[in-house]
Amino acid sequence: KLAELSPQLKDLLASDGLLAPDSWLLSIIAVVFVLIALYLVGWIATRVIGKKIISAFDLLMNRVPFVKDIYGSIKKLMSVLQKKPDGAQRVVLINFPSPEMKTVGFVTQILVDDDTGQKIAAVYVPTTPNPTSGYLEIVPLDKIVPTDWTMDQAMTFIVSAGAVAPDHLNYTKGAKTENID
């Protein structure tokens, strides 16, 4: 018991009349102290030590010639996919790998064709079950079908190979593409 480990605590609680011979209060106090200690250790690990470990890992990855390009690209992609798109729809369907099929993709950037002025989208098409690999397709905006899926719903759909999906999907071009850019 905590009282056996700390006679001072036992004396303090006994002097206040809080300690009975087999008091349940000591158990509660011990549990509270353990929970607080675990919380503090976790907080320190994630805030202080965790940041240092991630910084050291980033430094290491940025020193390896070929790896730094791949690591940097993946890090930027994850950053883009995690951002809230400020009202723009990022989860879309495109015709891929053939005109008769559609696949889920993420609009990562809107570009403008230098010759025609047409807006085109860079669409990342992740593969199943590992979404960190995939294809980058350049698609005219008028060929994109927006969805009302969130990033989380789309990633769950992709990682689960379609087994977990929202109940609805706008498969045809009926939706407007105005909110993509």
pTM over 0.95: no
| Residue 54, Cβ density class (10 Å: 0-12 exposed, 13-18 middle, ≥19 buried) | exposed
Which amino acid would we find at residue 47?
Answer: R
179 located within any domain? no
178 located within any domain? no
Place of tokens 């199943």: 128
Note down the domain range covering 57. 1-63
| Cα separation of the two ends of the chain | 64
180 located within any domain? no
Instruction: Looking at the structure, tell me whether residues 90 and 59 fall in a common domain.
Output: no
At 105 the pLDDT is 92
List pLDDT tens digits, range 89-139.
Answer: 588 999 988 888 899 999 988 899 999 999 999 999 988 877 778 899 999
List pLDDT tens digits, range 15-70.
Answer: 655 555 556 666 777 788 888 988 888 888 888 887 888 888 889 988 988 888 88
Minimal CA–CA distance to 5: which of 43, 44, 33, 38? Answer: 33
More confident residue, 176 or 138: 138
* Number of structural domains the chain divides into: 2
At 79 the pLDDT is 73
153 located within any domain? yes
DSSP E strands, 13-98? 91-95
Q: Does position 2 have pLDDT exceeding 50, yes or no? A: no
At 116 the pLDDT is 92
pLDDT band per the 50, 70, 90 thresholds, residue 87:
very low
165 located within any domain? no
CATH number at 90 reads: 2.30.30
pLDDT band per the 50, 70, 90 thresholds, residue 3:
very low
Instruction: Looking at the structure, tell me whether residues 22 and 54 fall in a common domain.
Output: yes
At 83 the pLDDT is 64
- β-sheet bridge partners, residue 134: 126
